[in-house]
Amino acid sequence: MTTSPTVRMLGFVNHIPPAPDIEESIARALDWGVDVIVAQGTGSDWGPYWLGSGGQVQANVAQNVRPYVQAAIRHQIPFVFSFGIAGADMHLDRCLADFDRLCAAEGWDLDVAVIRSELSRDYLRQRIADGAAVRPATADAGLVPELTRRDVDEAERIVALIGPEPVMAALSRGAAGVITGRALDIGLFMAYPMLRGLPTAVAAHAGKLLECGGLALEPGDSGQCIWAQLDSGGLEVRSPHPGYRASVRSLVSHTFYERSHPSLEENPGGCLDVSDATYTETELGVRCTGARWIERPYTVLLEGARREGFRAISMLAVREPALLRQIRGWADAAEQALRSSPRFAEHIARGRLRVATRIFGLDGVLGPLEPNTEVTGHEACVVLDVVAHDRALAEEAAYFGFIRLFIGPYPGRKTTAGNAAAPYMPVVIPVSDVYTFSIYHLLPLADPVQPFAATVERFPGARLETESRINATA
């Protein structure tokens, strides 16, 4: 008679600072037993800017993971982390350099499998030439219906959201841990349970519930960690912190996180179906069963960022009642004046300049989809948003638009000044280069591991030299 395997997992989010008393939570989880520690640290929540620019979110990832890695070393527990938010090679390398310094400072000596998920243009050009149909992940995003060489060439960087299989292959090599670039969040959590022989459905359901750490608890807090024990029939989720708890409501609500369908989630190689899942409160947590895994052709999501121009903004504050009653028409008139100006009309016609106003208090969130067409408060904030081919053009157009708003006429105006205020100086605020997800497509893979082979690296090692090179070219 064979015994069904069980896997005990501790999950957290590594780009968010841990709670001040996190060591106590980790200790409690260790009392329950922990077989693997997993944390996601990549994502596209912030849009394509970090991927396109190569910049890095200012999150001290090394210090965030320190208490968890310390526990992993003391108790000989493997860890699985994704690093770098955007997760391209340069983002991963910066995080690895910080991790290297941490290992040196703590006196740790680790062999870690590193998996890179940035794909080269040559690789993707060849896949396209070989006839791979790389199609959009969603039909309503304005993306090209099938990826072309031009799309690949125009993207600043392209990453893939690797699934669990490359992590499984790396774990099977016996390294102390695995660190990846851009990865599917739930795939990080799926890898170890699947390697131990647990059903894919259970592993994926666990990944969905644990991927954001304590955000799935009550109250939700991603600075907290979360624990689960998996078996062939399901899993039990608990909070290691006594001030938080896993509830049916908190877990079910988290299953809706970042998903367009209420019960289905498409993933590499299959679909997680929680339409028949059940959640039952236990003495310490919630027992979760009934998830299903529906096999699909294996694809990985590609994210590619293309530069669109440079953004400059100008902000105005309005609380003059007569102006508030007609604020959208006033803003539209300023936009039209800018578009029809001989100085800017040709740039707009050639696609080198675009302008929009967002009025917070009216339509700042939904824009033209806003059903309420009247300002309901006593004040509003107007943001003039200009994106142009280069910084100089963006700032010039933003100033033109600002002046039209600042002193622009409107019916019933009593005075030529003081109707709109400039809360910030300079009145034109240069923001940054602007990027768009020009690639958000699904790449078919016959072998989920082959493009993402791991290398085992020693920490601490010679990473500071690598960091210097990265900073010099950034």
- pLDDT score of 258: 79
Q: What is the pLDDT of residue 203?
A: 98
What's the pLDDT score for residue 1?
46
Each residue's pLDDT tens digit in the chain (474 positions)?
Answer: 456 799 999 999 999 999 999 999 999 999 999 999 999 999 999 899 999 999 988 789 999 999 999 999 999 999 999 999 999 999 999 999 999 999 999 999 999 999 999 999 999 999 999 999 999 998 877 898 999 999 999 999 999 999 999 999 999 998 999 999 999 999 999 999 999 999 999 999 999 999 999 999 999 999 999 999 999 999 999 999 999 999 999 999 999 887 788 899 999 999 999 999 999 999 999 999 999 999 999 999 999 999 999 999 999 999 999 999 999 999 999 999 999 999 999 999 999 999 999 999 999 999 999 999 888 899 999 999 999 999 999 999 999 999 999 998 999 999 988 899 999 999 999 999 999 999 999 999 999 999 998 999 999 995 655 555 545 555
> What HEC string does the chain produce?
CCCCCCEEEEEEECCCCCCCCHHHHHHHHHHHCCCEEEEECECCCCCCHHHHHCCCCCCCHHHHHHHHHHHHHHHCCCEEEECCECCCHHHHHHHHHHHHHHHHHHCCCEEEEEECCECCHHHHHHHHHCCCCCEECCCCCCCCCCCCHHHHHHCCEEEECECHHHHHHHHCCCCCEEEECCECHHHHHHHHHHHCCCCHHHHHHHHHHHCCHHHHCECCCCCCCEEEEEECCEEEEECCCCCCECCHHHHHHHCCCCCCCCCEEEECCEEEECCCCEEEECCCEEEEECCEEEECCCEEEEEEEEEEEEEEEEEEEECCHHHHCCHHHHHHHHHHHHHHCHHHHHHHHCCCEEEEEEEECCCCCCHHHCCCCCCCCCCEEEEEEEEECCHHHHHHHHHHHHHHHHHCCCCCCCCCCCCCECCCCCCCEEEEEEEEEEEEEEEECCCCCHHHCEEEEEECCCHHHHHHHHHHHC
- How high is the pLDDT of residue 466? 52
Please give the order of strands across the beta sheet that includes 292-295: 264-267, 270-273, 292-295
Q: Which amino acid is at 253?
A: S
Class of residue 469 by CB neighbours under 10 A (exposed 0-12, middle 13-18, buried 19+): exposed
Quote the tokens at residue 264: 């289905």
User: What does the pLDDT read at residue 112?
Assistant: 97
pTM over 0.85: yes
Q: Report the alpha-carbon angle 62-65-70, nearest 5.
A: 110
List beta partners, residue 114. 179, 455
Helices 61-75 and 89-106, packing angle to 10 deg: 60
Start and end residues for every CATH 3.30.70 domain found in the chain: 305-437
Question: What is the rounded distance in angstroms from the CA atom of residue 56 to the CA atom of residue 89?
Answer: 12
Handedness of CA 392, 395, 397, 403 (dihedral sign): negative
The HSE-up count of residue 150 (CA atoms within 13 Å, CB side) is 2
What is the torsion angle, in degrees rounded to the nearest 10, for the CA atoms of residue 88, residue 90, residue 94 and residue 99? 50
Collect all residues with Cβ–Cβ distance below 8 Å to 313 and sequence separation of at least 6. 383, 384, 385, 386, 398, 428, 429, 431
> Is beta strand 110-115 parallel, antiparallel or unpaired with respect to 79-82?
unpaired
The Cα angle at residue 270 between residues 248 and 450, in degrees rounded to 5: 125
User: Hey, what CATH topology would domain 305-437 get?
Assistant: Alpha-Beta Plaits (3.30.70)
